[in-house]
Structure 1
Amino acid sequence: MSNHAIPVEALLVVDVQDAAVAGDGALPNAAGLLDRTRDLIARARRVGALVVHLQNDGQPGAGDEPHTPGWELHLPVEAGPTETVIRKTHDDGFKETALGDLLSGAGVRSLAVCGLMSEMCVQATARTALALGYRVVLPHDAHATHDIPAAPGISGVIPAAVVSRVAAWAISGDADVTTQASDVGFTAPSGPNSPTAA
């Protein structure tokens, strides 16, 4: 971890599901993304920070259709007072879910967002967190997406790395966009209703 890591009280792991990180449909450099996400989760767990795995319920026939192999979370969840799964049906992890109540109930004031897709669910969730007054840290190497296909008369293929960079840039005026996941530090929430409160 960096000597100048930005401390946060919660980690949102957005849609790290098999359809996007395993098999033929895997994102570019999915292995690297998974390594960095595992490290973030492990460090958050060690200090009692809140870890929330968001799991997208896709439409029928989609790769992440509920209860299909692609819908499954790729990384193990250690369910308990400081780690949970929240299912969602919108890009924004706060919309029509218990995420906001969970964070406020735990006394969380700052959080990191990682996962996928950069320009959709990661950005939408981070934007709402910012609008709700949370400090948001977005580690650049811990979110990802697919290439955007060419569109005749508009553009050629837009590489995934460019899409992720633009998605982060769009919120960088309000969020702390770090270069590496190792720039994120963790601390336990200190609110009176936090899972680790005495």
Structure 2
Amino acid sequence: MTFTGEDKTAHVLVIVDVQNAFITGSEAVPDHVQLQRAVEILLANARAAKVPVIFLQNDGPAGTADEPNTDGWQLFFALKPGEHVVRKSRDDGFDGTELEALLTGYGLRSLAICGMQSEMCLAATARTAMQKGFSVILPHDAHATYDVPAGPGGSEPVPARMAARAAEWSLGDEIIVVGTAADVCFQTASAA
């Protein structure tokens, strides 16, 4: 896991499951306001640099907060013309979707990733991206999850921030972790 000294330049922004159910209202992740701000910074900088923006949108099962075509399922941030939505029904954004084809179609090898949940969809997507040879940049302030409840054997609950940090750490040495969304540089692949 790299914190400094690595190239912090991304050619695409991938936003994982930043949907109304998870970022607004009483069911929002802790620190949802901080997450909103960090993703806003990434979006503004990616759009200013004119790099591709890809939103992953989770299709939850019937009756869940992210059931398709419900308010909770809707993306929190509005798309701009030319941006993509990749719908998924599994944690890994590559599994059964056109995400890899989109990335390789643009000739992109470096991506910034943000969103939720840190230990689930975000981590699964980042891990597969690295396995496929993509460089992955993860801003520490641009991913979030829920508190982990107490577990078997009397294990204590884990606060969301600690769970997010543990998920970040679990991604290993290949991921590039930067302190804030503002630390990510965006550049079109053709300018690289």
SS of the aligned residue for 1:70 comes to coil
How far apart, in 2, do the equivalents of 1:31 and 1:110 lie? 27
Deviation of 1:187 after TM superposition, in Å, equals 0.5
- The one-letter amino acid of 1:25's match is E
**Per-residue CA shift, 1:19-60, capped at 9, x if unaligned?**
111111011110110011011011101111110000000011
State the superposition RMSD in angstroms.
Answer: 1.4
Q: TM-score, normalised by structure 2?
A: 0.93
Matches within 5 A, 1:116-135: 116-135=116-135
Q: TM-score, normalised by structure 1?
A: 0.91
How far apart, in 2, do the equivalents of 1:68 and 1:154 lie? 37
Work out the percentage of aligned pairs sharing the same amino acid. Answer: 46
How far apart, in 1, do the equivalents of 2:7 and 2:131 lie? 23
**Relative to structure 2, which stretch is displaced further, 44-53 or 150-159?**
150-159
How far apart, in 2, do the equivalents of 1:154 and 1:16 lie? 32
Alignment: residue pair count:
186
* 1:17 aligned partner: 19
Deviation of 1:165 after TM superposition, in Å, equals 0.5
Matches within 5 A, 1:1-198: 6-80=8-82, 83-190=83-190
**Relative to structure 2, which stretch is displaced further, 148-157 or 45-54?**
148-157
- The one-letter amino acid of 2:117's match is M
**Per-residue CA shift, 1:122-158, capped at 9, x if unaligned?**
0000001000101100111100000011124241211
Unaligned segments of structure 1, at least 5 residues = 192-198
- The one-letter amino acid of 1:38's match is E
CA 1:148/1:177 → structure 2, altered by over 3 Å: closer, same or farther?
same
Unaligned segments of structure 2, at least 5 residues = 1-5
**Relative to structure 2, which stretch is displaced further, 140-149 or 166-175?**
166-175
- The one-letter amino acid of 2:189's match is P
